[in-house]
Amino acid sequence: MRPTLIEAKDLDEAWFRVIQATLDDELAYWYDIQRGSFEGGGARRQLASLTLCVEFPETRPLAPVVPEGMNSPTTNENIEKYFAEQLMNPVPALNEDYNYAQFIVPHLPRVVELMSETPYTNHAVINVGQPFVEGDITAGTPKLYEFPPCLRCLHWVFRDDRLHLYTYWRSWDVFAGLPENLGGMQLLNEFIALETGYETGTLNAFSSGAHIYSYQLELVQQRLGL
């Protein structure tokens, strides 16, 4: 199957074109879920691979604009809440095994330092996930997640006097998750830009597990006007 490459102007267009791509038989395929969300009874329509570049992700509104009568998968308020609670608050909620912030926040001062003092570097990277069981690093006991983090890596690159953010997602619900995730990533990049004095640049995402669920197919068709 062919890889999917999408270049979009803003986050709304990016969402529209990604969900549109999931209906292309040359780019996406169905499979029954054996492990993960909706396992044992659900199916995914998954892109073979996705590379996404958003040229002006700062364009407001960050949330998708949908036709009258259709509910948006997220709102600007929910995006701001996602940024505050999942990306900037390193204390997981009571029902959470982890959140992204506990991996991201401790490294943000270093990212700001690198981008401020030596912006032409590939060292401004944050890995999401814990390789070893806490307190057992010397023994080398690996940390095995029942539900591994979907977001696995963030990388800041300085180019043309702007901060560009690159992210990798191992599994990605592109109908309901992508708009809120990318909106939050843009707010995170705006935070780094504010701390360093630069402007934000492109927002980029890679995924080998970008998908919609079978129950979302009708919603995707509705948004696409099919």
| Domains: count for the chain | 1
Has residue 129 been placed in a domain? yes
Six-digit token string for 134: 């806490």
Has residue 11 been placed in a domain? no
Has residue 113 been placed in a domain? yes
Has residue 154 been placed in a domain? yes
Angle of the 108-117 helix axis to the 178-196 helix axis, nearest 10:
50
Has residue 94 been placed in a domain? yes
Say which DSSP state 43 is in: E
Residue found by looking up tokens 């509104």 in the block: 61
- pLDDT at residue 157 is higher than 90: yes
Has residue 23 been placed in a domain? no
Six-digit token string for 166: 């690159």
Domain limits at 66?
A: 53-207
Has residue 17 been placed in a domain? no
- pLDDT at residue 41 is higher than 70: yes
* pLDDT > 90 in the chain, percent: 87
DSSP assignments along 11-23, one per residue: HHHHHHHHHHHTT
CA-CA distances (angstroms) from residue 31 to 34, 45, 176, 188, 209?
A: 9, 7, 19, 34, 12
What is the spatial distance between Cα 26 and Cα 187, in angstroms, rounded to a whole number?
34
If pLDDT is split at 50, 70 and 90, which confidence band does 25 have? very high
Has residue 167 been placed in a domain? yes
The helix or strand, by DSSP H or E, that contains position 169, with its residue range, turns out to be strand 162-169
Report the predicted TM-score, pTM, of the whole model to 2 decimal places.
Answer: 0.96
**Tens digit of each residue's pLDDT (9 = 90 or more) over 112-131:** 999 999 999 999 999 999 88
What is the spatial distance between Cα 214 and Cα 43, in angstroms, rounded to a whole number?
5
Say which DSSP state 107 is in: G
Q: Which of 78-92, 126-140, 164-178, 211-225 has the lowest mean pLDDT?
A: 126-140
Q: 145 forms bridges with which residues in the sheet?
A: none
What's the confidence (pLDDT) of residue 40?
85
